Amino acid sequence: MRFFNFVRYRHNEISTLHKAHRRHGPVVLIGPADISINCVKGGLKTVYLGGFGKPEWFANVFVNFGTLNMVSMEDHHSHSVRKRILSHLYSKSHILSSSALKGVMQTVVQDRFIPVLHSAAEASADVDVYSLFGGAAMDIVTGYLYGLYASTDFTTNEAERRRFHDLYFSRRGPDFWLQFPTIVSFLKKYLCIGLVPAWFTTVTEEIEAFILAMNDKAGALLSESDPTIPALPSHQPTVYAHLSSTLHASAASAPSPSFCPRLATASELMDHTIAGYEASTITLTYLSWQLSLRPSLQRALRAEILAAAATTPDESFLLPDPRTLDTLPLLHACVIETLRLHAGAPGPQPRVTPHVVGGTTLGPPGTPHCYAGIPGGVRVAASAWCLHRNEEVFPEAEEWRPERWLDGKGGLLKVGRAEGPGAEIKHVAAALYAGFETEVVDDEGIEQEDHFLAHPKGHKLIVRVKEIDLGK
């Protein structure tokens, strides 16, 4: 076990790396055969665009149903094949033009999310938007993957929403040991020490069963038409249908007793579900927190959204479509600045140096921090938390300043336009701040966790919601 793993076990990895880079520069040896990088040239470009392989950490931590998915695949060829199957479904052009996703977001946001806020505003009741955002995020993600018919309804079903949250996050702690299967197996077999308790396995199986049920429900919809289900794109299992049919065809052409298309599909889509759920929840929570502290910025954002909105014949408000929302400079700047300062996945993304003649060179070329001859098999990783706090790139890096992405004339800088945050984040945020004002009631524990996926430590954000009369 590497020395730095003790730091990781104590949940101090990201903060320790940040301090180390501020003290020692962009390339830091943090343990035997363990390097952290914090630069673009000689760092990100070399490692992540250079085809460095993945360590077994991914397969140990991110495998579902005992079956590899794209994230947990160490083999570059297998990863590339799976990525080609899915990439067009997540391309920005497809996302912004998808009638299925547009329908899902309209249903979740307009028919579920907004009524919850309206009821809270009428009752002068405080809202835990961290939990509510989690519900909307899960509904949108599973709606796109499986279709609304087979997806969740966590936005309106608070009990189910909180039950899943508590179940999922109960795995925190023991999940650290998943990356050391040999040690776990040895201690259990010879010393009767169970680092991964039995209840952890039970919880994991329950979460997998929850995902598998949506997969099977989507599969049944495709094989048997149901006249009671609306023939709308939003009710069709967009991603599931494409992935499942492709994997079944692959299995038919090259049969393998170890490959099960049903579980391979479920494993892949479980990873998509969890990633979308966590990342969107985190981003929306911190976006709302920052805006709730800035009433004037809320008003400016509302004006921008309403100026792009359409109205119906009865003069009711229609939220702009995803493509229009994507063009709004202030909304984009607020979202991307939140992604910078409060990255949903701020932890290191490890790779392994290749075995090449002369070794690998890391660090900014032509500087004292450029190191050559690094042998193969060395763990190397960059952390979004550290990269996004580089004062040379982001002055006053610890401050949330959306204006850093604007050109001073209300438009986006070129670098800001290059980024493409999720359409669901903008859709939910626009719906909230077009029709409501928020102010913080309780933000205790808003500090981010030191974790690969970093939620607020308190797993809550309580705000007071005031509905705006758009007719005035």
Interval 256-267 mean pLDDT: 91
Q: Is the dihedral of CA 388, 391, 394, 400 positive or negative?
A: positive
Amino acid at 309: A
Q: What is the DSSP letter of 112?
A: I
Cβ–Cβ < 8 Å for 330, 323: no
Other Cβ atoms within 10 Å of 173 Cβ, number: 12
pLDDT at 415 over 50: no
Tell whether the model's pLDDT for residue 95 goes beyond 90. Answer: yes
For residue 137, what are its two tokens? 């995020």
| 40: amino acid identity, one letter | V
The token pair that represents 356 in the structure block: 């090449």
How many percent of the chain have pLDDT more than 70?
94
Average pLDDT, whole number, for the chain?
A: 92
Sign of CA dihedral 21, 24, 25, 26: negative
- Say how many CA atoms lie within 13 Å of 386 toward its Cβ: 30
Pick the more confident residue, 6 or 90: 90
Contact (CB, 8 A) for 445 and 460: yes
Q: How many helices (H) and strands (E) does the chain have?
A: 20, 11
Q: Does 419 have pLDDT greater than 50?
A: no
Q: What separation in angstroms does the CA of 187 have from each of 60, 273, 297?
A: 17, 33, 55
pLDDT of amino acid 289:
99
By the 10 Å C-beta count (0-12 exposed, 13-18 middle, 19+ buried), 366 is classed as: exposed
How confident is the model at residue 276, as a pLDDT? 96
Residue 469, pLDDT score: 83
Cα gap 266→262, rounded to integer Å = 6
Give the residue with greater pLDDT, 137 vs 185.
137
Of 347, 353, 350, 371, nearest to 361 (Cα)?
Answer: 371
pLDDT at 312: 57
Question: Phi/psi of residue 47, each to 5°?
Answer: -80, -50
Q: What is the mean pLDDT of residues 370-385?
A: 97
Q: Is 444 helix (H, G, I), strand (E, B) or coil?
A: coil
**For residue 128, what are the CA distances in angstroms to 131, 154, 430, 441?**
6, 14, 18, 10
Residues 112 and 139: beta-carbon distance below 8 Å: yes
> What is the three-class DSSP state of 200?
helix
Token representation of residue 199: 């209840």
**pLDDT of 417 strictly over 80:** no
CA distance 60 to 121: 45
pLDDT at 224 over 90: no
Prediction pTM value: 0.94
Rounded (10°) CA dihedral 419, 429, 331, 126:
-130
CATH of domain 63-348+383-467: 1.10.630.10
**Domains in the chain: boundaries:** 63-348+383-467
Question: CB of 195 within 8 A of CB of 177?
Answer: yes
Q: What is the DSSP letter of 399?
A: S
Are the CB atoms for 101 and 117 separated by under 8 Å?
no
| Integer Cα distance of 216 and 312 in angstroms | 39
8 A C-beta contact, residue 472 and residue 448: no
Highest mean pLDDT: which range of 43-57, 231-245, 274-288, 458-472: 274-288
Instruction: Encode pLDDT of 117-143 as tens digits.
Output: 999 999 999 999 999 999 999 999 999
CA angle 81, 85, 90 (to 5 degrees): 125
pLDDT at 89 over 80: yes
How far, rounded to the nearest angstrom, does the alpha carbon of residue 353 sit from its chain's CA centroid? Answer: 26
pLDDT band at 2 (very low <50, low <70, confident <90, very high): low
What is the predicted pLDDT for the residue at 288?
99
Q: At 311, is the pLDDT very low, low, confident or very high (cuts 50, 70, 90)?
A: low
